[in-house]
Amino acid sequence: MLASVGVRLSAASRGKVSLVSVSRRLCTKHPETPASLPDSEPPEQRRPKKDPAECSVLLFPGQGSQFVGMGRGLLQYPNVKEMFTVAQKILGYDLLSLCLQGPEEELQRTVHCQPAVFVTSLAAVERLNHENPKAIEMCVAAAGFSVGEFAALVFSGAMNFAEALYVVKVRAEAMQRASELVPSGMLSVVGRPQAQYKHACLQAKEHCMSLGIEEPVCSVANYLFPDGRVIAGHQQALDFLQQNSRRLQFMRTKPLLVSGAFHTKLMESATEPLREVLRQVEVRRPDINVYSNVDGKRYMNEKHVRRQLVTQLVSPVKWEQTLHEIYERTHGKKFPYTYEVGPGNQLGATLQRCNMKAFKTYEHVDVAIHEED
């Protein structure tokens, strides 16, 4: 299937629908090294250092940021129409119509919203490249939340758009199937400073065992910001956390509109399909720093990318740690511009709570502009 659809489309569209990853590489590639150099010169020329105040960072949102109407007005930008055309061939349905018109309950399904967020985010990159090409040229780092990591990798030149979309399709379908095995979900939690999340999860699992549930799952799935977590697992465990929120020092709890307990052991059955499809596509070392959700560290090579993308399914998204890694700098050093490219502005909200200085140069690239704008 992949050879007949994904690879064929990627080969046909590699030059046409390669997004700004190609133009960004051309803008930032190393200077050409002469065929022969005098003995007194170093064998390689180094890329000149960039002023941090002129550099940029791109953040790509994940599942849960989708909404009906996203993508409206973006078709006027280069490559976007071709992206949605390729998407329709790979996915087998009209993704653009689903994004623009819904219905909402279909867009929210895991199998649909992951490809939708992926494509729309990269369409937003095209808008940013059209309106502010310097932001693309001077980009030094990218990160994506969960499925957003695939968009970050495409932008960085590590993966081809069509192949990555096919991987996202396989990933979303596998996660949907895993979600249907047991009643499960995700719970957004904002706790007091004294809240102990791991101990709360342990109590929730003990409650599940008292109900006769064998090997219950309840763990932190997302580290968002100080005292901000998403906990995922069996539905009975999440119900326990909500019912005992005051005693557990939780100030606010809110169930998320997702189909299952993503980034926990309950996604184990989805790992093999993802691992297999990643073996079939080309993966390259990113041209800029791209940070993994698994540990907040940057990807080193193509093997590292493949391994971490699979591990990510059953590991918590360490977004707070990733932001600290991206924006850590010595006192007095300026912060880069930050652009959230994709639906919603949740990543900006987390950046504001993790690093106010970095947030001062944050901007959201809207994906729901009107045609007349």
CA 64 → CA 52, 80, 99, 113, 262, distances in Å? 31, 22, 13, 8, 12
Tokens representing residue 123 in the block:
């369409």
DSSP assignment of 295-342 equals TSPBP-SHHHHHHHHHHGGGS-EEHHHHHHHHH---TTPPPPEEEEES
Query: Rounded to an integer, what distance in angstroms lies between the CA atom of residue 362 and that of residue 153?
Result: 21
Tokens representing residue 53 in the block:
């105040």
* pLDDT given for residue 68 in this prediction: 95
**Is 249's pLDDT higher than 90?**
yes
pLDDT tens track for 104-153: 999 999 999 999 999 999 999 999 999 999 999 999 999 999 999 999 99
> Are 201 and 237 in contact, with CB atoms under 8 Å apart?
yes
Q: How many CB atoms lie within 10 A of CB 8?
A: 13
Region 212-240: what's the mean pLDDT? Answer: 97
The rounded mean pLDDT for the chain is 88
pLDDT tens track for 251-301: 999 999 898 999 999 999 999 999 999 999 999 999 999 999 999 999 999
Confidence of residue 99 (pLDDT cuts 50, 70, 90): very high
- Residue 123: closest CA among 82, 62, 174, 67: 82
Q: What is the DSSP letter of 240?
A: H
- Residue 233: closest CA among 181, 182, 174, 185: 185
Region 195-208: what's the mean pLDDT? Answer: 98
**Under DSSP, is residue 107 helix (H, G, I), strand (E, B) or coil?**
helix
pLDDT tens track for 315-343: 999 999 999 999 998 888 999 999 999 99
- Residue 346: closest CA among 190, 225, 232, 193: 225
CA 248 → CA 11, 87, 185, distances in Å? 54, 45, 19
The phi, psi pair for 196, rounded to 5°, reads -115, 100
* pLDDT given for residue 30 in this prediction: 36
Tell me the catalytic residues: 146, 263
| Amino acid letter, residue 222 | N
> Are 19 and 79 in contact, with CB atoms under 8 Å apart?
yes
**Is 244's pLDDT higher than 70?**
yes
> Are 232 and 186 in contact, with CB atoms under 8 Å apart?
yes
* pLDDT given for residue 49 in this prediction: 60
- Please give the share of the chain, as a percent, with pLDDT higher than 90: 81
**Is 13's pLDDT higher than 70?**
no
- Residue 316: closest CA among 262, 365, 240, 279: 262
Q: Which stretch of DSSP H or E encloses residue 290?
A: strand 289-291
Confidence of residue 18 (pLDDT cuts 50, 70, 90): very low
DSSP assignment of 272-283 equals HHHHHHHHHS--
* pLDDT given for residue 52 in this prediction: 64
DSSP assignment of 40-100 equals TS-SSPPPPPPPGGG-EEEEE--TT---TTTTTTGGGSTTHHHHHHHHHHHHSS-HHHHHH
Query: Rounded to an integer, what distance in angstroms lies between the CA atom of residue 109 and that of residue 55?
Result: 36
Confidence of residue 51 (pLDDT cuts 50, 70, 90): low
